[in-house]
Amino acid sequence: MKNVKPAPFAYVRAQTLDQVFDLLEQHGDDARILAGGQSLMATLNMRLSAPDVLIDINHIDGLSGIEESNGKIRIGALTRHNEVAASPIIAEQAPLIAKAMPHIAHQAIRNRGTFGGSIAFADPAAELPAVSRAVGAEFILQGRGGTRTVAANDFFLGLFETAREPNEILVAAEIPVIPANEKTAFNELARRHGDYAIIGLAAQGGVDGGAFSNMRLSFFGAGDRPIMAEAANTALEGKSYSDATVADAQAALDADLDPMDDLNGPPEMKMHLARVITARVLAELAR
Amino acid sequence: MDKNVDISLSVNGQEVSRRVPARTNLVDFVRYELELTGSHVGCEHGVCGACTIRVNGAIVRGCLMLAAQADGATVETIEGVSESSEISDLQAAFHERNALQCGFCTPGFLLTAQELLSQNPSPSRDEIREFISGNYCRCTGYQAIVDAIERVAGERRQAAE
């Protein structure tokens, strides 16, 4: 056939996780897991990635769906973005995720892209990795020998690099139900609605009697991975919303963020925009 | 390992079976193998929306899905929804409102608009703009496209009453 774009690869429609483990053990780094494919397919089309084997996990039972029990929401890795966006559980119990969903790409991509795929791909400009840090998510990784749990805070190791071992697959995320005293805010700047952010901020934390506590400001598009703004979080602890509090948090960002030059602009521009969205997010939290 | 895949799927109501290279994108499959050239190939990495195709009732990027993944699926292209008259009102409104000039993006816009109206019979202009935000048009400036979709939404609501 004419007009093929990716380098040649074999394709396996896996029916079971054991089959996935077999293929991962056999092919190692030369195999890629295909979930929604909305990032992977683009990198294949541009030949930024050229695996020997694609393992399609879309037909494995039990990897999809959203359920809540014992104060935790479990989101199956294969759950499509539009299922997450339409979920009443997410809207009520994990509102930060609900706020982020409309910013994730566009309808046709949300029909196909998956929650777990976005996490495992670990694009530093994607929304869900940063959101998962702000909400305190944990990820369930499964290998031949069983499962292990890794906190979102320990999962993202670098540019497209995660704590997932090459013989493991991400099967689910677990999100704590939002505590009664916590609020959420989300803001991102993009050239076109739905495009990857120039920079964005997902925030969740306590707003008790007007004072911020245990605040988690989690940035995306600001470095090689989602970044928790520890200094800004500390600056906010116990403070009420005011111009001075906002200024302190903005100043603290110099210690938190060291953005790279990218197609959107120089680091100084990103730092300026980080301060702008921090002010917007704090105002939203204080409302 | 075999780098070709046997697939059988329904395309616009017809069963088709082919053996294709595994790396073939769905949109290239329908264009070059089935000669359904109404789905267009623009950016080839998911940004422009010209390749929008309906798979199992929901729109997808034809360039971000493999033909191999459509094995067993029900696929509908602009040719199918045109022949069935499912979107004839949208097509007429786009025509009358000048919501296309070169026409390259139009099949993608029509399928996207149809999915919007099937989910939300009375979208606001902002909701229309947000829903079509994944489709690029380099000619019209979008205003006429929003007008056309808004008009069809109103016509369909009236017809339903």
Where do the domains of chain A lie, and which CATH numbers do they carry? 10-56 (3.30.43.10), 66-176 (3.30.465.10), 182-286 (3.30.390.50)
Residue A1 confidence (pLDDT) above 70: no
Instruction: For residue A34, give the H/E element and its range.
Output: strand A31-34
Interval A189-236: pLDDT, tens: 998 888 889 999 999 999 988 899 999 999 999 999 999 999 999 999
Domain range summary for chain B, segments of one domain joined by +:
4-81, 85-160
The CATH number of B4-81 is 3.10.20.30
Question: Which pLDDT value is given to residue A195?
Answer: 84
Min distance A137 CA to chain B CA atoms (Å):
28
Nearest to B30 by CA among B60, B4, B51, B5: B51
Tokens read off for A77: 């890795």
Coil, helix or strand for A225?
Answer: coil
Q: In this complex, is the C-beta atom of B45 within 8 Å of any C-beta atom belonging to chain A?
A: yes
* Low-confidence spans in chain B with pLDDT less than 70: none
Question: Which pLDDT value is given to residue B161?
Answer: 87
The fold for domain B85-160 equals DNA polymerase; domain 1 (1.10.150)
Helix runs in A87-209, H state only: 88-93, 95-100, 107-110, 115-121, 127-135, 152-155
Positive or negative: CA dihedral A105, A108, A111, A113: negative
CA B13 to chain centre: 16
Question: Which pLDDT value is given to residue A262?
Answer: 87
Query: Distance from first CA to last CA of chain B, Å, rounded?
Result: 58
Q: In this complex, is the C-beta atom of B114 within 8 Å of any C-beta atom belonging to chain A?
A: no
Min distance B59 CA to chain A CA atoms (Å):
5
Q: Please indicate whether, in this complex, the C-beta atoms of A106 and B133 are within 8 angstroms of each other.
A: yes
Question: Which pLDDT value is given to residue A4?
Answer: 75
A–B CB contacts, 8 A cutoff, strictly below: 116
What 8-state DSSP symbol labels residue B113?
Answer: H
Q: Which residues of B touch A34 (CB under 8 A)?
A: 66, 69
Q: Which of residues 118-147 of B touch A (CB under 8 A)?
A: 129-131, 133-135
Nearest to B117 by CA among B69, B81, B66, B75: B81
Q: Please indicate whether, in this complex, the C-beta atoms of A106 and B63 are within 8 angstroms of each other.
A: no
Interval B104-129: pLDDT, tens: 999 999 999 999 999 999 999 999 99
Question: Which pLDDT value is given to residue B32?
Answer: 95
What 8-state DSSP symbol labels residue B138?
Answer: S
Question: Which pLDDT value is given to residue A2?
Answer: 62
Q: Please indicate whether, in this complex, the C-beta atoms of A107 and B116 are within 8 angstroms of each other.
A: yes
* Closest alpha carbon within chain B to A47: B45
Question: Which pLDDT value is given to residue A116?
Answer: 98
Positive or negative: CA dihedral A13, A18, A24, A27: negative
B85-160 shares the fold of B4-81 = no
Pick among B105, B128, B133 to test the A interface (most A CBs inside 10 A): B133
* CA atoms of B111 and B106, how far apart (whole Å): 9
Average pLDDT value over all residues in chain A:
96
Q: Which of residues 29-48 of A touch B (CB under 8 A)?
A: 34, 37-38, 41-42, 44-46
Tokens read off for B148: 């056309």
Interval A118-157: pLDDT, tens: 999 999 999 999 999 999 999 999 999 999 999 999 999 9
pLDDT average, residue stretch A241-267: 95
Tokens read off for A40: 């992977």
Q: Which residues of A touch B33 (CB under 8 A)?
A: 1
Which ipTM score applies to this complex?
0.95
* Closest alpha carbon within chain B to A4: B24
Question: Which pLDDT value is given to residue B115?
Answer: 98
Q: Please indicate whether, in this complex, the C-beta atoms of B44 and A52 are within 8 angstroms of each other.
A: no
Binned at pLDDT 50, 70 and 90, residue A275 comes out as very high
